[in-house]
């Protein structure tokens, strides 16, 4: 079984995915727009250029998303997307990229459980946790 987060954006899904492509080295697998899809007739005309479905991959893991009609959009809360970095340097690089234009909730630093951990909300409103696992010899 694979569990994949499905994020809903307030009209800026494609911009967010292009940002993640650069910020964390994600690969965009697909971006489907509402225009030209079977769902186009059921959506307001203002949604035509918005994202019906998108998927990106990061080291074989998948995040999916879409744009939400404005009347249905709710701020993302109550969860975080957690990335496991191989090294503190990699984690710090991801954290610094994701927090740009966003809000650092816990600066990236060593903790008692991790060589590097940080929490932020990116400029698109997505909450992130960046974690670096301890080596088995560290425990």
Contact 94, 80 (CB under 8 A): no
Model pLDDT, residue 81: 98
Model pLDDT, residue 136: 52
**Contacts for 15 with CB less than 8 Å, ≥ 6 apart:** 124
Model pLDDT, residue 70: 78
Report CA dihedral (5, 6, 12, 15) to the nearest 10 degrees: 50
Residues (pLDDT < 70) of the chain are 136-139
85 and 61 inside one domain: no
The structural domain count of the chain equals 2
Model pLDDT, residue 137: 53
**Contacts for 107 with CB less than 8 Å, ≥ 6 apart:** 118
86 and 129 inside one domain: yes
Token pair recorded at residue 103: 């809000």
Q: Provide the residue range defining the domain that includes 87.
A: 81-138
57 and 90 inside one domain: no
**Contacts for 39 with CB less than 8 Å, ≥ 6 apart:** 52
pTM, full prediction: 0.91
């Amino acid at each position: 079984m694979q569990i994949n987060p499905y994020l809903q954006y307030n009209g800026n899904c494609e911009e967010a995915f292009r940002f993640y492509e650069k910020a964390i080295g994600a690969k965009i697998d697909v971006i489907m727009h509402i225009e030209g899809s079977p769902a186009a007739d059921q959506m307001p005309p203002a949604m035509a250029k918005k994202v019906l479905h998108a998927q990106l991959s990061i080291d074989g893991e998948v995040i999916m998303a879409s744009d939400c009609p404005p009347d249905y959009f709710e701020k993302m809360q109550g969860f975080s997307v957690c990335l496991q970095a191989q090294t503190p340097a990699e984690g710090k690089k991801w954290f610094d990229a994701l927090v740009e234009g966003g809000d650092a909730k816990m600066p990236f630093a060593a903790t008692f459980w991790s060589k590097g951990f940080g929490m932020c909300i990116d400029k698109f409103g997505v909450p992130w946790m960046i974690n670096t696992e301890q080596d088995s010899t560290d425990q």
